[in-house]
A and B are shown apart, each in its own frame.
Chain A
Amino acid sequence: MTTANGAPTKITQGSKSKGGIGESTLRPDGTLKVTGEFAYSSDMWHEDMLWGQILRSTVAHAEIVSIDVSEALAMAGVYAVLTYDDLPAEMKHYGLEIQDTPVLAHGKVRHHGEPVAIVAADHPETARRAAAKIKVDYKELPVITDEASATAPDAILVHENRDDHHIGHVPHPNIVHRQPIIRGNADEAAKKADFVVKGEYYFGMQDQAFLGPESGLAVPEEDGGVHLYVATQWLHSDLKQIAPVLGLPEDKVRMTLAGVGGAFGGREDLSMQIHACLLALRTGKPVKIVYNRFESFFGHVHRHPARLFYEHGATKDGKLTHLKCRIVLDGGAYASASPAVVGNASSLAVGPYVVDDVDIEAIALYSNNPPCGAMRGFGAVQACFAYEAQMDKLADEVGMDRVEFRRLNAMEQGTLMPTGQPVDSPAPVAELLRRIKAMPLPPERQWESSEGSDVRQLPGGLSNTTHGEGVVRGVGYAVGIKNVGFSEGFDDYSTAKVRMETVGGEPVATVHTAMAEVGQGGVTVHAQIARTELGVAQVTIHPADTQVGSAGSTSASRQTYVTGGAVKNACELVRERVLEIGRRKFGSYHPAWATAELLLEGGKVVTDGGEVLADLADVLEDGAVEIEAEWRHRPTEPFDLRTGQGNGHVQYSFAAHRAVVEVDTELGLVKVVELACAQDVGKALNPLSVIGQIQGGTTQGLGIAIMEEIIVDPVTAKVRNPSFTDYLLPTILDTPTIPVDVLELADDHAPYGLRGIGEAPTLSSTPAVLAAIRNATGLELPRTPVRPEHLTGKA
């Protein structure tokens, strides 16, 4: 069998862009990406390859009366048509935590767009035409779309025979998981409040909308196994779900990370992986599947929409007294990451504030809406939107400046979380707020020029809706708290294999992990760590695959922390081994080999005093040192199911935003003029990448504030806008300047003192924009995204 075209190759960096940690070295894959040579999963190609196509349900909830594939199978160019009945193994379901998702629908579909059958054909158009010829007879069932319909006495159960480990503690089988957090006595504390503010908020369904569609290539192998090239966030998690369904041992399913065009949580769950493998194994031919944008909206989970009920109290001198809150997340038809999202939403529901008496409850529903799961911010985003709106209302009630009110109640190092967990590293919440407020404001009326109004700088932009009429400026602030890494007792580890050898007289380090590079720049950081720890210039990054141990997920802001930590750890072990070799070979020549602290620098073994003891080339000669090792962050505990108490989180991450908006108050159109961010990153391993992450996360928060929302019909539970025509992402004309103030307060528990950074900026960006719009309009605006009709009273 010939090889797959576009399979990733090793990338060596060092002749031009050097630099260890703390430097803004450039991406090792940068040149490949700007020349078009970097192969993404949708670029993969194989001789004799077939194209896979998925037939998806056209209704949200129905019994499948019959499926007839005969016409499709009879078409020229069609190689296979598979349904549930063709699944080869005992295991026919998959799922991140709960295996409740059928590989292909079995007797019933539970959401619009659920996979029902799959086709392999010699051209994508043939595959599409064949899929269209499959006849599925549905008998529609009533749809469950919200908490009321899910928990009604006569509610149909979305999953009839649950046997997962949450079923014992949920109040209703249509609730995936429930997590209360109880601390102190909220009812008693409420009596001390001089002001009580209540609010009900709604957070819309957001899509990750990564640009590279779900795609991959499955190549059957001679040993009866399969090699899958795919864009994912976690190869080993995929593998654990794929192999049992194929009826293969894990070593017969080889996985290689193909180029990933963004992820943001949307690739944590499986999409086309099993389908492509099934078709490849059935036909004996390589099978490629590429979703188009329409299908992509059905092909991955979304951010949970949420209803949030909040009650806060404060004394007249501005101290928070208590919090009562209830967060209802809609998990849709399958569990995906819902349980963990519930854990985050509840444990972070209080925000970065000191509140001793809390009564918090978060639940996720099963419904017939689209399945929801991981997206950047993961439960903390929805909560932040609500508690930050509450903080503004409370500050106004108390009569304090909104930023000063937050600073007064801000948590700090040593504060106890509502879970009872102490915050044991810097928590500069008040300082971030101070910094964001101190930034100079952008000048007013920037649209005015000598040639009249520049509509590009006005609400409505190129659409020419205002030349300044009705435009009012508003300013808003918000701050948020996000956990870093996998929580609640999860064994969260990464593996790194580091090899050191001499090539052409020069020492080279090779780093091999299974980390999914999804654009975040993990590969850049791994090379930097290897240079810092091993004193080499040249570092080769090995493609990510399952030939090395798991690197965990590229999510939860964890990769630099955990896989970065694993690379650092493996480098340290390699260094020790190299020094041992050096001692053996040269120890007798210089006493410092035995007595001094030794480092690897500039391709040499040096003492901490800077004295050179040997060239690495002489130490290594023709040999190589290679070590593969796992590395873990400190363990966490599950939250108590009744009280929510427990040291559930690893680390926290904080960001604050100030939004400046201009609102056309008559038309309800918004121009975000500036969205400034201050964030503590612990230690910026690569400052350029850090700022890029903060600006990108900030912009995703802007999107859900004013334009992004998957709209699900409340009557049919069908998605109404599965396209980039009607699911709007911010363009470059919608995105403002994003000044970033980076604070570096080391967390002593983390490698290099770093703090996971990817998600925090997505939290506070949204409430800051909403606060600014409220400031401009005087409206309450309890939902996001806010649409023109909400700003004009025409909803």
Chain B
Amino acid sequence: MRVNFTVNGRPQEADDVWEGESLLYVLRERMGLPGSKNACEQGECGSCTVRLDGVPVCSCLVAAGQVQGRDVVTVEGLAEFAQQRAEGGCASGACGTAGAAGTTLDEARRWQAKGADSQTGEGVELAPIQQAFIDAGAVQCGFCTPGLLVAADEMLERNPNPSDADIREALSGNLCRCTGYEKIMDAVRLAAARQSEGV
């Protein structure tokens, strides 16, 4: 079947989708957007968290056919999404960049790890939560990171001054096996503090 939807503000079309495919599979294998991760495919780990019409969901549990006409934000679009929100644009997640040209399947398939000119990506524009994860040492293997970033960013959007218990509750659907979560707590606290200072 064919599915049309918006990803990170750009209209996308996927063809020949098997009916049992998940949104996660379509993003990773058909859209060239492997940032959302496939760690459990049963909604237990949160590594595939994306925003579907603004709401954080496990993309492994959304059937591809269910996203027809809907709006998805993935980790790849998080920096731009946060930027638009900061500029007073739409913060609901339903803010597609109207009229932007879609990435063709061919372009998508040419995706590869860029690393900003084979550098570390230093100088790349990041969302505050992304920068905070780097600065606080919240990234080790990094496999849980994309899902955590999407979930944490959404929590800070709703609750700019979370208590530790609030952070733990909001991130309780995202497993991390490397860090013991302490540096993730530090990162979210750091992002919240920077946000409230307007940095």
How would residues 104 to 117 of chain B score, 1 for a CB under 8 Å from any chain A CB and 0 otherwise? 00000111111110
Interface of A is mostly: loop
A211 contacts which of B28, B36, B126, B177 (Cβ < 8 Å)?
B177
User: Hey, which chain B residues are within 8 Å of A700, CB to CB?
Assistant: 177
By the criterion CB–CB under 8 Å, are A733 and B122 in contact?
Answer: no
Q: Which residues 98-155 of B have a CB within 8 angstroms of A? A: 109-116, 118-124, 126, 130-131, 133-135, 137, 139-146, 149
Interface size class for chain B? Answer: 35 or more
How would residues 688 to 709 of chain A score, 1 for a CB under 8 Å from any chain B CB and 0 otherwise? 1101100111111000000000
A37 contacts which of B20, B121, B141, B181 (Cβ < 8 Å)?
B121
How would residues 1 to 34 of chain A score, 1 for a CB under 8 Å from any chain B CB and 0 otherwise? 0000111111111011100000010111111111
User: Hey, which chain B residues are within 8 Å of A31, CB to CB?
Assistant: 115-116, 120-122, 124, 126, 134
Counting chain B CB atoms within 10 Å of each CB, the highest count among A42, A457, A731 belongs to A731
By the criterion CB–CB under 8 Å, are B37 and A462 in contact?
Answer: no
Interface size class for chain A? Answer: 35 or more
Q: Which residues 156-181 of B have a CB within 8 angstroms of A? A: 165, 167-169, 171-181
By the criterion CB–CB under 8 Å, are A5 and B112 in contact?
Answer: yes
Task: Assess whether B39 is interfacial by the CB under 8 Å rule.
Answer: yes
By the criterion CB–CB under 8 Å, are B141 and A210 in contact?
Answer: yes
A262 contacts which of B131, B134, B178 (Cβ < 8 Å)?
B178
| A416 CA / B175 CA spacing, docked (Å) | 42
By the criterion CB–CB under 8 Å, are A261 and B139 in contact?
Answer: no
| A772 CA / B178 CA spacing, docked (Å) | 24
| A15 CA / B117 CA spacing, docked (Å) | 13
| A605 CA / B184 CA spacing, docked (Å) | 41
Interchain pairs with CB closer than 8 A, number: 234
By the criterion CB–CB under 8 Å, are A732 and B130 in contact?
Answer: no
B115 contacts which of A37, A695, A696, A723 (Cβ < 8 Å)?
A37
Task: Assess whether A366 is interfacial by the CB under 8 Å rule.
Answer: no
Binds B, one of A304-312, A514-522, A629-637: A514-522
Interface of B is mostly: loop
Counting chain A CB atoms within 10 Å of each CB, the highest count among B37, B114, B139, B183 belongs to B139
Q: Which residues 17-40 of B have a CB within 8 angstroms of A? A: 18, 20, 28-29, 32-40
By the criterion CB–CB under 8 Å, are B177 and A264 in contact?
Answer: yes
Binds A, one of B61-69, B74-82, B89-97: B74-82
Task: Assess whether A417 is interfacial by the CB under 8 Å rule.
Answer: no
By the criterion CB–CB under 8 Å, are B35 and A35 in contact?
Answer: yes
| A521 CA / B178 CA spacing, docked (Å) | 11
What are the 7 tightest A-B residue pairs by CB atom distance, in nearest-first order? A36-B35, A519-B141, A31-B121, A261-B143, A33-B142, A699-B180, A695-B180
30 contacts between A and B (CB under 8 A): A5-B111, A6-B113, A24-B137, A30-B133, A31-B120, A31-B121, A31-B122, A33-B139, A34-B126, A34-B131, A34-B146, A34-B149, A35-B121, A35-B130, A36-B76, A43-B34, A211-B37, A211-B47, A211-B144, A264-B177, A293-B39, A462-B172, A518-B141, A692-B140, A692-B183, A723-B42, A724-B175, A725-B42, A732-B172, A732-B185
User: Which residues of A does B touch, CB under 8 Å?
Assistant: 5-13, 15-17, 24, 26-40, 42-43, 45, 47, 123, 125, 209-213, 259-264, 290, 292-293, 454, 456-457, 462, 518-521, 688-689, 691-692, 695-700, 723-725, 729, 731-733, 735, 737-738
> 18 other contacts beyond A31-B124, A33-B145, A35-B79, with CB at 8 A cut-off?
A6-B34, A11-B119, A16-B122, A31-B115, A31-B120, A32-B120, A34-B131, A210-B141, A213-B38, A261-B141, A262-B178, A263-B141, A696-B180, A724-B44, A731-B174, A732-B174, A733-B172, A735-B182
